[in-house]
């Protein structure tokens, strides 16, 4: 089938690859996702309306569309079977990928775009911003439960849809390469930031070395643990379903924990230029620790618990390295709207790392206290 340039026209063409029960009522844009274009399909079937979610997969960011979708299919099938066996509402507590008429996981259009359809999660809503410590606790518990529910899933079945995504060792090497090349002459401006990171080289190698040594176990990780990736039940306001599974990959549970702390336990803008406004919120960290450990319900190993604070510290350092590397390379990866924005982003992350180091003993103690 051919398509025109209008995204909604593409959505309608993609819809034709599927055979959904009932009659089509409408297809309308849904949400404001930055990665994938999303639409809501409304159907009528047996005098009832039913909604589906139609998405165009951004294959510039995710070139291995097949691997991505197979990951999602494996994980959601496992969860659905687990929930059904436990008597839970599997149809609402996990996503279901709907196959095309010819049995494929995606509709592949002639214009090179890839589309998929999920069942919509009924009677649910999502939130864009954590507005209270209680919400941060609930978020932690939900993502902890996600790890718990996938505890027995063999993570080696999954492919890395973004290879070396949280391999901080590799991020450090990329920074070293950027420094050597100094493509746009910025290295002289950032000697202090470079020295800060070089003094923490061992931190960059810590987690993956522990994985390689078998100290930390490989698990299924979500890799985008934001509040808006949790669907809440409209009636009880409780977490219902984890969504946006594009980055589900094998990894360390510390990655998901750490990234949540990195962007959740501070209230500054990511590109804040006034570092006096950038502060690590220990109280929010402690709140998240309690929720996450409760959600994981005893599955975390002694080593995972011991190194849980390191997840926050290393992942925050890693993001600082990525921003600084891009600044040195001339702002080629992260979009900027003003000069120095990526440098401000890097400095913000490094300030958070420094703050964590300043309360390190308390961070370690918070994990111990949450286990009591």
Q: What is the pLDDT along the chain (372 residues), one digit of tens a residue?
A: 444 457 788 999 999 999 999 999 999 988 765 456 899 999 998 888 889 999 999 888 899 999 999 999 999 999 999 999 999 999 889 999 999 999 999 999 999 999 999 998 888 888 877 889 999 999 999 999 999 999 999 999 999 999 999 999 999 999 999 999 999 999 999 999 999 999 999 999 999 999 999 999 999 999 999 888 999 988 888 889 999 999 999 999 999 999 999 989 988 889 999 999 999 999 999 999 999 999 999 999 999 999 999 999 999 999 999 999 999 999 999 888 999 999 999 999 999 999 999 999 999 999 999 998
Task: Give CA 305 to chain center in angstroms.
Answer: 21
How many Cβ atoms from other residues are within 10 Å of residue 283's Cβ? 11
Span(s) in the chain for CATH 3.90.1200.10: 133-370
Tell whether domain 133-370 is in CATH 2.40.128.280.
no
Q: How far apart are CA 304 and CA 214, in angstroms?
A: 11
R_g of the chain, CA atoms, integer Å: 22
Q: How far apart are CA 146 and CA 229, in angstroms?
A: 12
Which fold, 7-120?
Answer: Phosphorylase Kinase; domain 1 (3.30.200)
Name the DSSP class of 240.
E
Tokens of 2: 């051919």
Span(s) in the chain for CATH 3.30.200.20: 7-120
Q: How far apart are CA 46 and CA 99, in angstroms?
A: 21
Q: How far apart are CA 274 and CA 268, in angstroms?
A: 10
Name the DSSP class of 28.
E
Global confidence as pTM: 0.90
Q: How many residues does the chain have?
A: 372
């Amino acid at each position: 089938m051919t398509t025109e340039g209008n995204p909604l026209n593409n959505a309608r063409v993609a819809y034709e690859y599927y055979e959904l029960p009932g009659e089509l009522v409408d297809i309308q844009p849904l949400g404001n996702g930055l990665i994938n274009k999303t639409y809501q399909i409304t159907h009528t079937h047996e005098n009832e309306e039913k909604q589906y979610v139609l998405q165009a997969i951004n294959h510039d960011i995710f070139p291995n569309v097949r691997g991505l979708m197979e990951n999602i299919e494996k994980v959601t099938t496992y969860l659905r079977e687990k929930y059904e066996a436990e008597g839970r509402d599997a149809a609402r507590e996990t996503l279901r990928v709907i196959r095309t008429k010819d049995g494929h996981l995606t509709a592949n259009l002639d214009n090179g775009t890839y589309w998929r359809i999920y069942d919509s999660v009924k009677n649910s809503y999502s939130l864009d911003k954590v507005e209270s410590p209680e919400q941060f606790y609930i978020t932690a518990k939900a993502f902890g439960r996600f790890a718990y529910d996938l505890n027995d899933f063999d993570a080696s079945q999954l492919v890395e849809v973004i290879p070396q995504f949280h391999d901080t060792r590799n991020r450090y090497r990329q920074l070293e390469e950027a420094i050597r090349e100094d493509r746009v002459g910025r290295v002289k401006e950032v000697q202090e930031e470079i020295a800060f990171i070089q003094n923490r080289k061992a931190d960059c190698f810590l987690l993956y070395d522990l994985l390689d040594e078998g100290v930390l176990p490989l698990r299924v990780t979500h890799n985008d643990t934001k509040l808006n990736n949790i669907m809440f039940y409209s009636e009880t306001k409780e977490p219902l379903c984890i969504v946006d599974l594009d980055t589900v990959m094998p990894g360390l549970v510390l990655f998901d924990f750490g990234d949540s702390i990195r962007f959740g336990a501070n209230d500054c803008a990511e590109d804040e230029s006034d570092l006096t406004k950038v502060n690590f919120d220990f109280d929010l960290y402690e709140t998240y620790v309690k929720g996450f450990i409760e959600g994981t319900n005893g599955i975390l190993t002694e080593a995972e618990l011991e190194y849980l604070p390191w997840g926050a510290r290393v992942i925050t350092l890693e993001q600082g390295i990525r921003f600084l590397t891009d600044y040195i390379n001339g702002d080629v990866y992260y979009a900027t709207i003003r000069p120095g924005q990526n440098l401000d982003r890097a400095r913000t992350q490094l300030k958070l790392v420094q703050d964590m180091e300043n309360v390190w003993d308390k961070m370690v103690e918070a994990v111990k206290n949450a286990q009591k």
